[in-house]
Chains A and B, each alone.
Chain A
């Protein structure tokens, strides 16, 4: 960002009412891909409304400073100031988390449950709805998106900073990934 814009951004971040409004304006551009209120309508893209503030902030900053790989978002966030990223994280964290309904069957859920393990539960909660502050809730997150995320963690060509997740996702069998993602995704039912 240019120096002028940075100065202006810092001024807003000083707590003026303008800050709140301009973050609304900026956040509305996120809706294109993440939905109104951060509730995604596209299976490969995550819902972000209601996710923990620290998680949102960390992920965006890691993308911005090339500490975490991404296919698209890393380019987008590089145009935002750190203050804007903080404000966007706060903005979306204040939304309600709305699990998206996903079709499932008892058999699918049983299979999904059988391939997840306690390490998932430790950080995300048994049903994915009780996360730590730096972990996202995953109950009713899109299964397709989570399948792709798990593939990122398992791919050596992808820079993922979370060592625990890297280790744990590699304990899963490749064929079991969609079932694991589905188990948490369909918790919104």
Chain B
């Protein structure tokens, strides 16, 4: 945003409140600069830090993130199949420095919400007026008997955080013999990236189909009875790879004893309630919950896993001046099963809601009306993609899922009675858009 846009924005804020335009910047400058600490440098945290500075350069913004380089989870399934180089998913924090964000590579060890101070492992202290937590998820290895963090890093990768495990899983797939079995174990929802496991199944099948493993099997053992974009995935699996007991991809729902409760790394076996499944590769995605920074603060009040926040601002319902965004939070229209999906796009629009809210707050102006959007592409072959979009508004202090502005790509055209196939150009376009989306969200958050 250029200087003109910023001026327009502040002017609009001022006019909306009936305050004098001229008094705003001065009143703000007279005080000490507002300090915002952002914890977590993924899509959500990076967007929050960048946009705070873009829209009001008087705000002091510190981003605390362990790693010096971020690897995008979205489209990382394409790395497993070899369709994409992992470096196309990686970005550093130089872009944020350019916006005047102070980037600190450290780990948060303590937050004192009363004194409003964040402490890091490096022994640094950061005082804040507002704290934005975008910690992502942490994994509950203990929920699956026989599983551990150590096994995830060596023999049984979850690759549910993109990086070394993504590459490990790719290596395991390449080493799998023809006729081998690749198991993807899916935890009970809600989990990060709702369509992710099913896109992964397609990417694994894609690799097998074109790399001399036509007799391979991709078995999805699911702790759920349905999944995101199901009719679109099933259509594509069937047409591209074969689906069902005789196809390359097979899905076992929770009702059909799909939930994995135990794993034995020695014999490479997944155990469900009544059965056992031996795999040549076991991609075990454990249940997860809000990142420990948020959880340790007692903010994960929803099922003891996710952080509840206020619809108009994303402020924690538990702690004043602490905002929780991204995969760690829970929001949306829960009563109708239209919760916020845990996606990068969602995290970014949540970050933008926090930013608009904080800027209004620091300038003593009424909060703006938020809007939340999501766009999520899945790529099942280089020329076959599809998406889901979501729109949420806030009415009377509640999230409202706007059905008219939400939904998946068409499964068929024509009528219900006489369905027609969707022309392939639609699938091709969305596969191409997935790549455009990736480059744009990386730029919007980090550049």
Contact = CB atoms under 8 A, between A and B. Distances in A.
Nearest to B346: A32
A41 B389 contact: no
B429 A148 contact: yes
B375 A33 contact: yes
Given A2-B400, A26-B371, A37-B2, A45 B436 contact: yes
A93 B439 CA distance: 23
Nearest to B403: A79
Range class of the A interface residue count? 35 or more
A144 interface: yes
A157 B429 CA distance: 13
Interface stretch (A13-21, A126-134, A164-172): A13-21
A26 to B, nearest CB: 5
Q: Is the interface of A mostly helix, strand, loop or mixed?
A: helix
B437 interface: yes
Interface stretch (A53-61, A70-78, A103-111): A70-78
Contacts of B15: 17, 20
Nearest to B420: A157
B405 A25 contact: no
A79 B441 contact: no
Among the interface residues A8, A40, A157, which one has the most CB atoms of the partner chain B within 10 A? A157
B9 A4 contact: no
Nearest to A158: B425
B136 to A, nearest CB: 18
B423 A155 contact: yes
A29 B1 contact: no
B407 A75 contact: yes
B183 interface: no
Given A25-B371, A75-B389, A43 B447 contact: no
Interface in A1-38: 1-2, 4-5, 8, 16-18, 20-22, 24-26, 28-29, 31-37
A111 B319 CA distance: 63
Contacts of B375: 32-33, 72, 76
B265 interface: no
Interface in B36-86: 51, 54
Among the interface residues A28, A31, A44, A76, which one has the most CB atoms of the partner chain B within 10 A? A28
Interface in B1-47: 1-2, 5, 8-9, 11-13, 15-16
B440 A35 contact: yes
B404 A44 contact: no
Interface string A66-93: 0000011001111110000000000000
B405 A78 contact: yes
B168 interface: no
B404 A1 contact: yes
B152 to A, nearest CB: 31
A42 interface: yes
A28 B51 contact: yes
Interface stretch (B124-132, B253-261, B320-328, B348-356): B348-356
Given A1-B404, A44-B436, A79-B406, A25 B370 contact: yes
Contacts of B432: 44, 144, 148
Contacts of B442: 41
Nearest to B17: A17
B142 interface: no
Contact of B389 (A4, A28, A72): A72
B387 interface: yes
A155 B425 contact: yes
A1 B403 CA distance: 8
Contact of B435 (A42, A75, A158): A42
B423 A157 contact: yes
B54 A43 contact: no
Interface string B408-429: 0100000000000001011001
A42 B373 contact: no
B444 interface: yes
Given A37-B1, A37-B2, A72-B430, A32 B12 contact: no
Interface of A: 1-2, 4-5, 8, 16-18, 20-22, 24-26, 28-29, 31-37, 40-45, 71-72, 75-80, 144-145, 148, 151-152, 155, 157-158
5 interchain residue pairs of minimum CB distance: A79-B405, A42-B436, A157-B423, A17-B15, A44-B436
16 contacts: A1-B402, A4-B395, A17-B15, A21-B368, A22-B369, A29-B372, A33-B375, A36-B443, A37-B1, A37-B2, A42-B438, A44-B436, A72-B375, A72-B429, A144-B432, A157-B425
Given A42-B436, A75-B407, 14 more contacts: A18-B12, A24-B9, A29-B372, A29-B373, A34-B440, A41-B443, A41-B444, A42-B437, A44-B433, A45-B437, A72-B389, A75-B405, A75-B406, A78-B404
